[in-house]
Chain A
Amino acid sequence: MEKIAQEKYVQLENVNMTFYTKKGTFEALKNINFSIREGEFISIIGHSGCGKSTVLNLIAGLLHPTEGNLFCAGREISGPGPERAVVFQNHSLLPWLTCSENVYLAVERVFGADEGKANLQQRTKAAIDLVGLAHAADKRPNEISGGMKQRVGIARALAMEPKVLLLDEPFGALDALTRAHLQDELMGIMAKSGCTAVMVTHDVDEAVLLSDRIVMMTNGPAATIGDILDVDLARPRKRLELAEDRHYNHLRSEVLKFLYERHARKAA
């Protein structure tokens, strides 16, 4: 029983997702089946519009599947919950709150019932320190750079001590240098916290570098899982060493082949 719970910590069973809009129905996802082990880092990769965010939002509980079931830690996902924290694509910080107030809002909600104010502030500070933003804690989101905003978003999610961290293209809007830096930081943080993570990405290198498994999605409509790639590279991983690594490059080309040969995007 214990074993199953760990093997299938997050589970998607025959999930179909159809959107009903004014223009008619749109079948976005069809027959999604996969499960995630506890502590595993999963990437979801696929062409734009295939339904990656939809999968993530289903796990987050922001969307409900048209058919099928989703489970987390053995319980059906019926809505959003603090045990599944989300780092949004566009950081989604509240512009009228400072960085630490943004984090505090989350901390207060999760731990406010059991802990005093001092404790909550301590947690907030710890989360801000973890992402290296102590110097910007009292700044508003519009006063800091894009990379810093994204870090606050990560701090907010991590401060909730979630069981599952859901990231929707967390570094998509950043320049290559900042992205690499934050990827390294995220790897360190995940190694420390040991929480399960699902990340949506467009970036093949990012997927291979960070993940234990890569879920590759076919193009929509009615997108589904085309293949799942095991990334059996030892941790901790070093970006520079991996650049030369033959197995790394093999995995990388596997993903590229999937995206550009087997499921090339039809010209728009």
Chain B
Amino acid sequence: MSSVSITKEDIKTIMKSEQTIVTAVAAPKPVAAPRPSALALKSRAFFQWLLPPLFGLLLLGAIWTLIAHQSPNLPGPMPTWHSAVELFKDPFYRNSLNDQGIGWNIVASLERVALGFGLAALVGIPMGFIIGRFQFMSRMAAPIIGLLRPVSPLAWLPIGLLVFKAANPAAIWVIFISAIWPMIINTAVGVSKVPQDYMNVAKVLNLSEWKIVTKILFPFVLPYMMTGVRLSIGVAWLVIVAAEMLTGGVGIGFWVWDEWNNLNVEHIIIAIFVVGIVGLLLELALTSLAKRFSYE
């Protein structure tokens, strides 16, 4: 391009001379701290990122130990840990219907959540689109949603038992009814927030309703929808434990109840951690899924 060629060497000397200038300016300062290396900076950032949560967990452990000391019935962290190691040595054993490994119990709960939540998504998301798209539908749905949404999920259990005459579908029904609202509402809100500009484009191009949904509404609403899905899965996982306590069978909630009847408090504490960790993982998985789908 230009006749003057600058070699790498030149650049290096230029850079060096700049560096010397910098040090020359810095030199008069009494104590010039040496510049930390990139590695040192990185490891420092890592520890700054890691330490606060670590302290949080330690604090939790400390409080737990303290309370365990005061009340003789509550096992402390160490006995619980040993019990957990024992428990997870063989999570997938099957002795009888009511005596299965913790792994099977978690799987059974996840299956119910997947079914109830999946059905809720299948019904809730299209309903959200319809409600968001048509004023009439939105007005029509408002009293129904307003009335039913605040109802505690477990209040639906008797209805489920009555209609399905079996515990398992009833538990799935409870998941369904409690997970559906966030998906309907968030999807509908997303649809109603589609900028008028995009809808004008749709009008000028005379797009069919199908094209409007697939090319404009769906891509725009996706982030809203994913928020709804994330909230829903959280609710579903919250509710399943309570529902299973009541319905029995296999499942983490039932397992907690069973261990309570056996007065195995260590196992109950372990179950609390398991429920928490699985919930966290579900949340994380959906958050990363949502990120993948956003167009920005």
Q: Say yes or no for A134: interface residue by CB 8 A criterion.
A: no
CB of B211 within 8 A of CB of A109, answer: yes
CB of B215 within 8 A of CB of A92, answer: no
CB of B206 within 8 A of CB of A92, answer: no
Give which listed residue, B200, B206, B216, contacts A82 with CB less than 8 A. Answer: B206
CB of A97 within 8 A of CB of B215, answer: yes
- By a CB distance below 8 angstroms, the chain B residues around A88 are 197, 200-201
Nearest residue (CB) in B for A81 is B206
CB of B201 within 8 A of CB of A94, answer: yes
Compute the total of residue contacts between A and B using a CB distance below 8 Å. Answer: 49
Within 8 A of A (CB), among B265-296: 295-296
CB of A105 within 8 A of CB of B197, answer: no
The winner among A62, A82, A92, A140 for most chain B CB atoms within 10 A is A92
Within 8 A of B (CB), among A109-138: 109-110
Q: Say yes or no for A86: interface residue by CB 8 A criterion.
A: yes
- By a CB distance below 8 angstroms, the chain B residues around A97 are 215
CB of A62 within 8 A of CB of B205, answer: no
Nearest residue (CB) in B for A102 is B201
- By a CB distance below 8 angstroms, the chain A residues around B203 are 61-62, 79-80
Range of interface residues on A (Cβ < 8 Å): 20 to 34
The winner among B197, B200, B203, B204 for most chain A CB atoms within 10 A is B204
Chain B 149-174 near chain A by CB (<8 Å), digits 1 or 0: 00000000000000000000000000
Inter-chain CA distance A90–B201, complex, in Å, is: 11
- By a CB distance below 8 angstroms, the chain B residues around A110 are 205
Inter-chain CA distance A82–B204, complex, in Å, is: 7
Q: Say yes or no for B219: interface residue by CB 8 A criterion.
A: yes
- By a CB distance below 8 angstroms, the chain B residues around A66 are none
- How many B residues touch A, CB cutoff 8 Å? 16
Shortest CB–CB separation between residue B209 and chain A, in angstroms?
Answer: 13
Inter-chain CA distance A81–B206, complex, in Å, is: 6
- By a CB distance below 8 angstroms, the chain A residues around B215 are 94, 97, 105
Q: Say yes or no for A95: interface residue by CB 8 A criterion.
A: yes
- By a CB distance below 8 angstroms, the chain B residues around A62 are 200, 203-204
- By a CB distance below 8 angstroms, the chain B residues around A109 are 205-207, 211
Give which listed residue, A80, A85, A92, A94, contacts B219 with CB less than 8 A. Answer: A94
Q: Say yes or no for B134: interface residue by CB 8 A criterion.
A: no
CB of A80 within 8 A of CB of B211, answer: no
Q: Say yes or no for A253: interface residue by CB 8 A criterion.
A: no
Shortest CB–CB separation between residue B127 and chain A, in angstroms?
Answer: 23
Inter-chain CA distance A88–B202, complex, in Å, is: 12
Q: Say yes or no for A154: interface residue by CB 8 A criterion.
A: no
- By a CB distance below 8 angstroms, the chain B residues around A15 are none
- By a CB distance below 8 angstroms, the chain A residues around B216 are 94
CB of B201 within 8 A of CB of A92, answer: yes
Inter-chain CA distance A14–B113, complex, in Å, is: 63
Q: Say yes or no for B92: interface residue by CB 8 A criterion.
A: no
The winner among B203, B211, B220, B296 for most chain A CB atoms within 10 A is B203
Chain A 134-157 near chain B by CB (<8 Å), digits 1 or 0: 000000101000000000000000
- By a CB distance below 8 angstroms, the chain A residues around B207 are 105, 109
Q: Say yes or no for B260: interface residue by CB 8 A criterion.
A: no
Shortest CB–CB separation between residue A150 and chain B, in angstroms?
Answer: 14
Inter-chain CA distance A61–B200, complex, in Å, is: 10
Inter-chain CA distance A82–B205, complex, in Å, is: 6
Inter-chain CA distance A81–B215, complex, in Å, is: 19
Inter-chain CA distance A62–B205, complex, in Å, is: 11
- Asked whether A90 and B197 contact (CB < 8 A) given A95-B295, A97-B215, A105-B215, the answer is yes
Within 8 A of B (CB), among A62-114: 62, 79-82, 84-86, 88, 90, 92, 94-97, 105-106, 109-110
Given A92-B200, A105-B215; 20 other pairs, CB 8 A cutoff: A61-B203, A62-B204, A80-B206, A81-B206, A82-B206, A84-B204, A86-B200, A90-B197, A92-B197, A92-B198, A94-B201, A94-B215, A94-B216, A94-B219, A96-B219, A105-B211, A109-B205, A109-B206, A110-B205, A140-B295
Residues of B within 8 A of A (CB): 197-198, 200-201, 203-207, 211, 215-216, 219-220, 295-296
Q: List 18 A-B contacts (CB under 8 A).
A: A60-B204, A62-B204, A80-B204, A81-B206, A82-B204, A82-B205, A85-B204, A86-B200, A92-B198, A94-B215, A94-B219, A95-B295, A97-B215, A105-B211, A109-B205, A109-B206, A109-B211, A160-B205
> When A and B form their complex, which 9 residue pairs have the shortest distance between CB atoms, in order from nearest?
A96-B295, A96-B219, A92-B197, A80-B203, A80-B204, A86-B204, A109-B205, A92-B201, A106-B205
